[in-house]
Amino acid sequence: MASNQNQRARSATGNVLRVGGRKVRSAAIYARISSDVSGEKLGVARQLEDCRKLAEERGWHVGDEYVDNDISAYSGKPRPEYLRMLADLESGARDAVIVYNLDRLHRIPSELEDFISLCDRVGMHEVATVTADIDLGNDDGLFMARIFAAFAAKESGRKSARGKRKARQSAEAGLPHGPNRPFGYEDDKVTIRDSEAEIIRQLVNRLIAGESMRSLTTWLNSTDTPTVLGAARWRTTTVKSVICSARIAGLRTHNGEIVGPGIWEPIITVEQREQVLARFAERARSGRRAPRTYLLSGLLRCGRCDTPLMSSTKHKSPDKKVRRYICFNGPDRGGCGRLTVVAEPVEDLLRDSAFIRLDSDELRQAWEGRVKANPDLAQLNQEIEEDTRALTELAELYAARPRRITAAEWMAARDPIEARIRDARRAIAHVADSTGLSDLIGKGEILREQWPDLLIDRRQAIIKATLRYATIAPGTPGARSLDINRVQPLWRE
C-alpha cells in the first residue's frame, strides 16, 4: 500500500489521489444525510451538486449516483445504496468514489476497514472528497481516514458548515431571516403591517422628494410609533436602516448581498429603493452638514471615544469668544462629551505641518508612484455611467409585472456589472482622493505666504489634501497652552 509514485492533485474545491495517473472511467458519487427532519433533504441536493462539480473539475465521468436518505450510520440499519455502490466497486463497474465528506461514507471504524480492504482488493484508491484531504492510497491517508472514522471530534465543525449551507439555501429560497420582526411586517416577517407600511412609504417618498433625515425622524417621533424593539424614540440611524433595507423592496439579502426576491410582498419598488440609495450617496458626497466655518471641521477625532469633534464657540464675554472643538454627547452624536480643545493652536499647528508635508520628498514620491499606476479617469467615469444605465434597465425588466426576466437571470447579469462598477469606483477614489494634491505638492512655502488671503473653502481643501484626520488626546485639566503631543495627525500618502 506504500505509494511513492502517487501524485496528489489539489484544487480549491477538493482533494484527490491519483494512483500512477490511472484514468478514471466511471466514478461513483455517494451522498447521505443522517436525518431528514426540517427539510434537510436539501442537504443531499447540495452534497450531490458539490460532488458533481468536483467530478467535472477532475474530468471524471460519473457512472452513477448513490443516495441514502434519512438513515443514520450509527443505527446499523442497512444502507441499500451504499451496498449497491460497494457491489459496483467490487465488480469494477466503478473505479472511483466522490463523496462530500468522508463521514458521509462511514461513521464506524469497522465500516471503514471493510471499505479499505475492498479498495485494496480491487485496486481502487481514488476517493475524492469536497471538504477534506483524504488519501486512501498511502499510510498517512489511511491513518487520517481512520482518525476520521474513529472520532466524531469534527462533528461540531461539520454541523456548523452544514448550518451555513442551510442558511444560504434558505436565503436562495427567499425565506425571511433575522431575530427581530422587521418594521412594516407582522411577526411572521411575511405579512405586511399596514400602519407601518404606510409610514415607510411616506418616509421613502418624502426622502426622495428631498426632505432631510432629521426632519423625517422628527416627524416619525411625532406619530408615536415605537420601533420594533419597543423604543419610543427613533434616531436618524434607525430610520435610515429601515428605509435603506433591501427587504422592504421585496429583496432577500445574505451576508449583506442581495440574493434574490423574498417570499414576502414588497412595500416599495426596487426603483424607489435605488432612488433612496442614490439620495444617501448624494448626501454623502456633498457632505451636507452644518456650514463649515472652522478650518478643521470633520478632520478631528476625540482621543477618548474616536467620535468626530464638532466646532463650538464659547462666549466668555460679549466681545470675547473662544472657538473650540468639542466631543458632543447630545442626541445622535454619540460622543463621550469629555473632550475639548481650543481651536486656534490646533489649527495653526496642523496648517504649518501641512505646508511642511507638501514640500516633503516623502509625499512627492508617494504621489508620483500613484500617478504611474493611474488608470484613465475619464474612461473609468464613462464605464461607470454605462454600467449604471445597464443596471437600471435590468432592474426595470425585473420589476415589471409580469416579470420580464427571472431573479436568477437578473442576478447573473447584475453581479458582474456591479463588480465592475465597484472596481472602477475604487480606482477613481484612489486617485480622486488626492487630485487636489497634484496642484499643491511642492508649494508649501508659497501657500504659507498666500494663506491670509485664502478663503475658508480653499484653506480647508489644502488641509484635506494632506490630512486624513487628526486625533486629539485628552489634555491636562487647566493647561494654558496646547500640548503638541495631544495632536496625532494621520497624513495622506
Half-sphere exposure of 2 (CA within 13 A, CB side): 1
Site string for Zn ion, 251-290 (x = CB under 5 A): ----------------------------------------
Count of other CB atoms within 10 angstroms of residue 131:
19
DSSP character at residue 107: S
Find the part of the chain contacting Zn ion (CB under 5 A) among 165-173, 197-205, 328-336, 383-391: 328-336
- Please give the Cα distance from 164 to 145 (Å, whole number): 25
Half-sphere exposure of 8 (CA within 13 A, CB side): 14
| Long-range pairs of 215-221 with CB within 8 A, sequence gap ≥ 24 | none
* Closest separation in Å from C-beta 473 to Zn ion: 11
Closest alpha carbon to 96 in 46, 23, 146:
23
* Closest separation in Å from C-beta 365 to Zn ion: 36
Decide whether 109 or 489 has the Cβ nearer to Zn ion.
489
Decide whether 66 or 325 has the Cβ nearer to Zn ion.
325
Find the part of the chain contacting Zn ion (CB under 5 A) among 133-141, 266-274, 296-304, 423-431: 296-304
Decide whether 339 or 421 has the Cβ nearer to Zn ion.
339
Where are the extended beta strands (E) located within 100-212?
A: 127-129
DSSP character at residue 308: B
* Closest separation in Å from C-beta 330 to Zn ion: 12
Decide whether 80 or 331 has the Cβ nearer to Zn ion.
331
For 239, the grid coordinates are: 430610520
Helical (H) or strand (E) element with 381: helix 377-399
Find the part of the chain contacting Zn ion (CB under 5 A) among 62-70, 189-197, 200-208, 299-307: 299-307
Residue of the chain from 8, 41, 53, 304 that contacts Zn ion (CB under 5 A): 304
By CB under 5 A, residue 305 contacts Zn ion: yes
The three-point CA angle 306-312-316 to 5° equals 130
- Please give the Cα distance from 361 to 287 (Å, whole number): 32
* Phi and psi angles of residue 167, each rounded to the nearest 5 degrees, phi first: -60, -40
By CB under 5 A, residue 443 contacts Zn ion: no
Count the site residues for Zn ion by CB under 5 A.
8
Find the part of the chain contacting Zn ion (CB under 5 A) among 6-14, 290-298, 336-344, 439-447: 336-344
* Closest separation in Å from C-beta 327 to Zn ion: 3
Residue 132's Cβ-count burial label (10 Å; 0-12, 13-18, 19+) is: middle
* Closest separation in Å from C-beta 307 to Zn ion: 5
* Closest separation in Å from C-beta 478 to Zn ion: 19
* Closest separation in Å from C-beta 288 to Zn ion: 23
- The angle, 0 to 180 degrees and rounded to 10, between the axes of the packed helices 270-286 and 194-208 is 50
Decide whether 408 or 479 has the Cβ nearer to Zn ion.
479
- Please give the Cα distance from 311 to 295 (Å, whole number): 10
Residue of the chain from 27, 327, 437, 462 that contacts Zn ion (CB under 5 A): 327
For 344, the grid coordinates are: 486656534
Q: Strands 300-302 and 467-472, how do they pair?
A: parallel
DSSP character at residue 266: P
* Closest separation in Å from C-beta 302 to Zn ion: 3
By CB under 5 A, residue 473 contacts Zn ion: no
Decide whether 208 or 482 has the Cβ nearer to Zn ion.
482
* Closest separation in Å from C-beta 308 to Zn ion: 9
* Closest separation in Å from C-beta 303 to Zn ion: 8
Residue 135's Cβ-count burial label (10 Å; 0-12, 13-18, 19+) is: buried
- The angle, 0 to 180 degrees and rounded to 10, between the axes of the packed helices 236-243 and 194-208 is 100
Decide whether 456 or 490 has the Cβ nearer to Zn ion.
490
Residue of the chain from 43, 182, 262, 335 that contacts Zn ion (CB under 5 A): 335
* Closest separation in Å from C-beta 306 to Zn ion: 7
Half-sphere exposure of 16 (CA within 13 A, CB side): 30
The three-point CA angle 259-260-266 to 5° equals 130
For 86, the grid coordinates are: 460497494
By CB under 5 A, residue 303 contacts Zn ion: no
Decide whether 24 or 339 has the Cβ nearer to Zn ion.
339
Decide whether 46 or 301 has the Cβ nearer to Zn ion.
301
Decide whether 132 or 336 has the Cβ nearer to Zn ion.
336
* Closest separation in Å from C-beta 329 to Zn ion: 8
Decide whether 181 or 304 has the Cβ nearer to Zn ion.
304
Site string for Zn ion, 306-325 (x = CB under 5 A): -x------------------
Residue of the chain from 302, 354, 424, 441 that contacts Zn ion (CB under 5 A): 302
By CB under 5 A, residue 336 contacts Zn ion: yes
At 335 the three-state DSSP class reads coil
Cβ-Cβ contacts under 8 Å for 79 (sequence gap 6 or more): 32, 68, 71, 73
- Please give the Cα distance from 86 to 104 (Å, whole number): 14
Half-sphere exposure of 21 (CA within 13 A, CB side): 1
Decide whether 204 or 302 has the Cβ nearer to Zn ion.
302
Sites of contact with Zn ion (CB under 5 A):
302, 304-305, 307, 327, 335-336, 339
